[in-house]
Amino acid sequence: MKLSFIVLALLVLSACSGSSKKSSTEETVQNDAISPEIQQEFNWIENADFAEVDAAPFIASDDKFEGSLSDHDSLSKESIARLPAPKIEDAIDSNDLTTKLAGLCHANRFNDAFLLVKKQFRKYKKHPGFWNQVGTCYLRKKDYRSAILFYNKSRELDSKYSPPLNNLGVIYQIRGSQAKAYLAYKEASKLNPLSLTPLFNLAQLQLQGGQVDNAIIAFQALVRKNDDDVDALAGFATALFIRGDTEQSLRIFDRLPDEAIQNPSYGTNYSLALKLSGKEDKAREILARVTSTPSRELIDYYNKVKAFVYQGGN
């Protein structure tokens, strides 16, 4: 059963107070009452398996992924989902359990990930970062109900820990509850003003909802925190472009490194802004640099921009 280990993780045992010692005769009688077949089936279980395990400490300042892409992508320090495949393999080999768990989940090795959870949950039972990552494993499986369960468990352990609240916002947004997502991102950003991810998600949500001026303010705040961050710069440039400040948006787009331009989400908008400003040759040059395959959600837009950029060209 998919959630069989959850029962172990959440079960609270109540015991009678006081103790009593059984005589060796009584113990022998009880042992004899267990059939040899049952004893053989479970002979791998030892008393040590039931010993209390020291809980792993949670240190908020250490709650980040150290295999980030570079200083140009500060969000990758907070979310392993932003890392390329080789970096995710590094995460899987990490000695840090939550990093290893994140790597397994983002490599879609869910069986290995949940086996690791089953083995380690007692040690990490009071670790909000661990349970937040378990929730994210279920989020990647699109099992949103289980994801919500574990995000809430993480929040119960530390109500001021912002990542699970941000991740609940992601689920709300996926489900079409934009207002709830907005509140979740807003509160997560308030809980940890130094965290960039909820502010970035908030800015994107505002941009999608037509709150362009608010999105610009949020993206500006991100750029102030790291003026080399490619996502903040691309979001800021896109928001300015949507508002009609094409020349200013181009000045921001021009600061993007080549690897960011290769991303169709950014290169397509950059190319369109150049085309509309009359810089057709450079628009085609930028679009030609897009090497990644556009996502299913982006492919129609990409093809329309490509047709427009090459319209009347050689």
Q: What is the pLDDT of residues 77-103, one digit of tens each?
A: 445 455 555 567 777 788 888 888 888
> Whole-angstrom Cα distance, residue 119 to residue 151?
20
Question: Residue 273: pLDDT band by 50, 70, 90 thresholds?
Answer: very high
Query: 2 vs 120, which has greater pLDDT?
Result: 120
Per-residue pLDDT, averaged over 218-247, amounts to 90
Per-residue pLDDT, averaged over 260-273, amounts to 91
Mean residue pLDDT of the chain comes to 77
pLDDT of 132-149, one tens digit each?
Answer: 999 999 999 999 999 999
- pLDDT of residue 11 exceeding 70: no
What is residue 83's predicted lDDT score, i.e. its pLDDT? 53
- pLDDT of residue 200 exceeding 60: yes
> Whole-angstrom Cα distance, residue 254 to residue 115?
46
How far lies 54's CA from each of 57, 60, 122, 126, 287, in Å? 9, 19, 8, 10, 55
Question: Residue 282: pLDDT band by 50, 70, 90 thresholds?
Answer: very high
Residue 194 CB neighbours (<10 A): 9
> Whole-angstrom Cα distance, residue 127 to residue 19?
31
If you count DSSP H runs as helices and E runs as strands, how many of each does the chain have, helices first? 18, 0
Phi, psi (deg, nearest 5) at residue 230: -65, -35
Q: Which two tokens stand for residue 30?
A: 């009880």
> Whole-angstrom Cα distance, residue 170 to residue 176?
10
Question: Residue 51: pLDDT band by 50, 70, 90 thresholds?
Answer: very low
Q: Which two tokens stand for residue 158?
A: 């530390």
What is residue 60's predicted lDDT score, i.e. its pLDDT? 52
What is Dmax (Cα atoms) for the chain? 97
> Whole-angstrom Cα distance, residue 128 to residue 158?
6
Contact indicator for 168, 201 with CB cutoff of 8 Å = no
- pLDDT of residue 61 exceeding 80: no
> Whole-angstrom Cα distance, residue 217 to residue 291?
31
> Whole-angstrom Cα distance, residue 230 to residue 228?
6
> Whole-angstrom Cα distance, residue 287 to residue 282?
8
Contact indicator for 274, 284 with CB cutoff of 8 Å = no
- pLDDT of residue 34 exceeding 80: no
Residue 106 CB neighbours (<10 A): 22
Contact indicator for 121, 9 with CB cutoff of 8 Å = yes
Contact indicator for 90, 241 with CB cutoff of 8 Å = no
